[in-house]
Amino acid sequence: MESSETHVPFLVRDCALSAFSAGLRAQNLRELRDRLTEVSTDSIYYHFWGSRLHPGFEHPEYPNMFAAWVHRSLHDHRLGERLGILDPTAVPDLEALRQELIETIEQRLDETELVAWSAPDDQFYFLRSRLVVFDTPRTIAHPRALVEVLPVLSASSIFYHFIDARMRLPGLDDFRAWLLAYGDEFVGLVEALSEVDLFFVPLAELRQTLVSVVSTYFTEHSGPEA
Amino acid sequence: MDDKPLSSQESMPALRLEDYEQIVGPDIIEQLLQLAEPLKGQRIVHVNSTRVGGGVAEILHKLVPLTNALGIATSWEVINGRDEFYRCTKSFHNALQGNHVAIPKNLLKAYEEVNAANAEILRPTLADADIVFIHDPQPAPLISFFPERKGKWIWRCHIDASRPYRPVWKYLRGFTARYDASIFSLATFAQPMPNPMCLIPPSIDPLSEKNMDLSEPEIDRVCAQHGIDRQRRTILQVSRFDRFKDPLGVIEAYRLAKRFAHDLQLVLAGGSADDDPEGAAVLNEVYTAAAEDPDIHVLLLPPDAHRVINALQRAADIVIQKSLREGFGLTVTEALWKGKPVIGGNTGGIRLQVINHHTGFLVDTPEGAAYRIRYLFHYHEHLKEMGLKGKEFVRENFLLTRHLRDHLSLIHALRSGSADRIELHRVAAALV
C-alpha cells in the first residue's frame, strides 16, 4: 500500500451558477420535444443539475425539471415517472441525455392521441447555465480530515465535488476519485459514498448525508490504516 | 432639470459582513469573498431614479454597502427629473405591467431630455466604470450617450414585463437592447432580447426593520395597539387593497374556516389607497364585507410601517397571499422568513416559493384557502414543520447575500465571454 504522505491533497473548490433565459418555451409535449432538439447542452445541464443551485424549492418527487413540469403542469403522470427515472450519470454526455429525453417523449407522443397543454402562465421556460468555479482557501490533506471539513463546506461546494463531478468524471465524483488514488485503503468508504442516492436528497441535506457516511466509516474503521 | 444627480457615498451606512455571517453562515460569506477577490480594483456603479421609497431603493441601500464591504468599490447614483419625466416613467411602469397606456410625445421628449442631461453630469462616473447596473426604465436611455463606454452595462428590470403593452415595450427596447446583458426576476417576466438575459430573483434583507428579529413584548404591543388578541388564532394577509390581491376572497376563506375555528381572527394589513381610485373602491368593498365582524381587522398602515408589518407577520399563525396575479411576491418571502406557512394563490412567483406540504399550500379559490387553513390548524405539528422548512428555504435562496452572489457571478460570466464554465484560480491555499 502506498503511503498517505505521497498523495496530493484534495483542493476544495466552490461554484456559483448564473441562470440565463434560453429564449425558448413550451406549452405542450410536442413543443417540449421540438425545443429540446434545438437548445444548447448547457440548458439540459441546467434542468437536470444546475437548477439545484438556483433559487427555488427542490421538488423531492422529481429529480429533474422536465419530469416535474410534465407531472405538475401537463398532468401526464406516466411520462413524469419515465422522465423522472432518467439517470444522467448513465449516459456518456449531455448530448446523449438529450437523445434519451427526446426518445422518451416521442414514445409518449406515439401512445397518446391528445396532447396535453399547460396553462398559459405555467409554460416550461428553457434556461441556460453558466457555472463560475473558484478555489477556496481549503485543502484536505488526508481522507480522515473529511470528517471535520465536510460539515463546513458550502452546499455549492458539495454540489461541485459530488454532483457536477459526475459530468466531468463519468461514474465517479471528486471525493471518490481522490480516495481511489489511495489504492484499496479506503475502498469501503468509496463504496459507501457510491450508495448515496443524490436524486432523493435535496442539496441542503446532501452535506449532512455525506458527513454521516464519512463519520460512520471512520468510526467503524478507527484502526491505524484508516 | 432641477437638481444634480445624487451620489450615494456620503449617506450609505457601512455594513458588517459579520452581521450577515451570523445569519447565513460562514460558508456563504467565504463564498462572497472568493467571488469578490478577482474583482477588487473594479468599479461598479448602480443607477436608478429614487433614493427613498420602493423596492429598488430598499435593495440598493443594502446591496451597495455590502458590495463595498467585500472590497469592490461600488457607488449608487440617482438621476433627477422634472414632473413630465416622472409622469412618463409612471406610464412606462403601468405599460410594462400590461396596461394600455398611450404616452404623449411631449412626455417621451422630456424622458429623453432628462436622460441626456443626467448623462452629462454622470459622464465622469459612468464612462470609466467597469460595471454599470441601470435599474428599471427610468435611466435606460443613458447608455445611448456613452458609445465609447469602457465597462459592461447591464439593464436590471424589476418589473413583471411578461405581458407588456407592445408599443411602449417597442419604444423602450430601442434602449434596453443596447445593453451587454439584462436581468429579469423570473423567466416568465422576461421579454426576448438580443443580449444575454440573466435571471436573478429579488431578495429580502434579514437585518432590515421589516425582517429583523423582534422581542415578544414588542409583538404584543403592536397587536394590542391594533386590537389583535394574541391568545387567539390569527391569519394575516399583507398587501395593498387591489383586486389582484383578492382581499374579498380572503374574507370569504376566513368565514368558511371560522366555522371550524371559532376563535379565528383575520388581519388584512395594507397601505392607504388615497391616490388610487380603484384601490379606494376595493377598500370600501372590504370595509363593507368586514363591517359586522369584529374579528376582521382591516389595518391601513403608512408606507414606513415596516416594524409593525414585521410584528404582525410574527404574531400570525398562518400568512395568506391569495393573489390572483402576482409578481414575485416578496410578502410571501417575508412570511416564510418568519417561520410561517403560507397559503398562496397559484400564480407568479408565489409558485416558486410555496410548495404544497413543504412551505405552505397553493390554492385557486377561497374554498381551497379555507380548507388549507383548517388543515394547518388540525395538523399543528405539520404547521410548525412547514414554518421551519420555509425559513430555511428563504435562508438558502432569497436573502440579500444570494442576490449579491448572483450579481458577482454575472459579472464574472460577462467578463469571460461565452464559455459556459468559468474557472477562477487562487494563488495559494492553506492545508487543513
B308-332 residue pLDDT tens: 999 999 999 999 999 998 888 999 9
Mapping DSSP onto H, E and C, the string for B263-282 reads CCEEEEEEECCCCCHHHHHH
Q: Average of pLDDT values for B385-395?
A: 95
Q: Which of A56, A129, A145 has the CB atom closest to B352's CB atom?
A: A56
Q: Average of pLDDT values for B146-169?
A: 94
CA A151 to chain centroid = 19
Q: Is the pLDDT of residue B2 over 60?
A: no
Looking at the fold, whether B351 and B235 belong to one and the same domain comes out as: yes
Looking at the fold, whether B347 and B358 belong to one and the same domain comes out as: yes
CB atoms within 10 A of CB B378: 11
What's the predicted TM-score (pTM) here? 0.90
Looking at the fold, whether B342 and B230 belong to one and the same domain comes out as: yes
Cβ of A11 under 8 Å from any chain B Cβ?
Answer: yes
Residue B112 per-residue DSSP state: H
Looking at the fold, whether B18 and B95 belong to one and the same domain comes out as: yes
What is the domain range of residue B285? 216-397
Nearest Cα of chain B lies from the Cα of A61 at a distance, in angstroms, of 12
Cβ of A155 under 8 Å from any chain B Cβ?
Answer: yes
CB atoms within 10 A of CB A92: 8
Furthest C-alpha separation in chain B: 71
pLDDT in tens, B98-129: 889 999 999 999 999 999 999 999 999 999 99
Q: Is the pLDDT of residue A4 over 60?
A: no
- According to the model, what pLDDT value does residue A221 have? 87
Nearest Cα of chain B lies from the Cα of A121 at a distance, in angstroms, of 8
User: B359 lies in a domain?
Assistant: yes
Higher pLDDT, B97 or B17: B17
The number of folded domains in chain B is: 2
Please state the ipTM of this predicted complex. Answer: 0.89
Please give the Cα distance from B307 to B315 (Å, whole number): 12
DSSP string spanning chain A? ---GGGSPPEEEEEEEEEEEEEEEEESBHHHHHHHHHHS-HHHHHHHHTGGGGSSS---TT-SSHHHHHHHHTS--HHHHHHHHT--GGGSSSHHHHHHHHHHHHHHHHHH-SS--B--GGGPEEEEEEEEEEEEEEEEESSGGGHHHHGGGS-HHHHIIIIIIHHHHSTT--HHHHHHHTTTTTTHHHHHHHHT--GGGS-HHHHHHHHHHHHHHHHHHT-STT-
Mapping DSSP onto H, E and C, the string for A151-202 reads HHCCHHHHHHHHHHHHHHCCCCCHHHHHHHCCCCCCHHHHHHHHCCCHHHCC
For A203, the closest chain B residue by CA position comes to: B396
Q: What residues of A are in contact with residue B347 (Cβ under 8 Å)? A: 121
Q: Which of B396, B419, B429 has the CB atom closest to A138's CB atom?
A: B429
Preferred mutation among A14, A134, A161 to probe B, highest tally of B CBs within 10 A: A134
CA A95, A50, B340, B255: dihedral to nearest 10 degrees?
A: -30
Quote the cell numbers at residue A226: 484508516
Preferred mutation among B31, B176, B399, B405 to probe A, highest tally of A CBs within 10 A: B31
Q: Is the pLDDT of residue A3 over 80?
A: no
**Average of per-residue pLDDT values in chain A:** 91
- A window 165-194, beta carbon within 8 A of B: none
- According to the model, what pLDDT value does residue A60 have? 66
Please report which confidence band the pLDDT of residue A223 belongs to, taking 50, 70 and 90 as the band edges.
low
Q: Are B333 and B399 in contact (CB under 8 A)?
A: no
Looking at the fold, whether B153 and B299 belong to one and the same domain comes out as: no
Nearest-5° Cα angle at A153, A150 to A158 = 85
- A window 112-141, beta carbon within 8 A of B: 121-123, 125, 127-141
Residue B104 per-residue DSSP state: -
Furthest C-alpha separation in chain A: 65
Q: What residues of A are in contact with residue B201 (Cβ under 8 Å)? A: 55
Please give the Cα distance from A72 to A69 (Å, whole number): 5
Cβ of A208 under 8 Å from any chain B Cβ?
Answer: no
Quote the cell numbers at residue A13: 473548490
Q: What residues of A are in contact with residue B405 (Cβ under 8 Å)? A: 16
A118-122, A152-156, B81-85, B310-314 — which one is most confidently predicted on average?
A: B310-314
Which residues are A134's β-sheet partners?
A: A14, B424
Preferred mutation among B33, B332, B421 to probe A, highest tally of A CBs within 10 A: B421
Short-list B126, B116, B189, B130, CA closest to B157: B189
Nearest Cα of chain B lies from the Cα of A111 at a distance, in angstroms, of 30
Looking at the fold, whether B183 and B50 belong to one and the same domain comes out as: yes
Looking at the fold, whether B225 and B137 belong to one and the same domain comes out as: no
Q: How many residues does chain A have?
A: 226
Preferred mutation among B21, B24, B27, B400 to probe A, highest tally of A CBs within 10 A: B27
Contact B431 A9 (CB under 8 A): yes
Looking at the fold, whether B119 and B221 belong to one and the same domain comes out as: no
Looking at the fold, whether B38 and B152 belong to one and the same domain comes out as: yes
Nearest Cα of chain B lies from the Cα of A102 at a distance, in angstroms, of 23
Please give the Cα distance from A68 to A66 (Å, whole number): 5
Looking at the fold, whether B162 and B79 belong to one and the same domain comes out as: yes
Quote the cell numbers at residue B357: 406540504
Q: What residues of B are in contact with residue A140 (Cβ under 8 Å)? A: 432
Measure Cα distances from B307 to B162, B237, B300, B320, B422 in Å: 32, 16, 14, 19, 42
- According to the model, what pLDDT value does residue B275 have? 53
Q: What residues of A are in contact with residue B26 (Cβ under 8 Å)? A: 152
**For the domain that residue B137 is a member of, what is the CATH number?**
3.40.50.2000
Q: Average of pLDDT values for A31-55?
A: 92
Looking at the fold, whether B180 and B306 belong to one and the same domain comes out as: no
User: B405 lies in a domain?
Assistant: yes
Task: Find where cell 468599490 sits.
Answer: B73
Q: What residues of B are in contact with residue A17 (Cβ under 8 Å)? A: 409
Cβ of A14 under 8 Å from any chain B Cβ?
Answer: yes
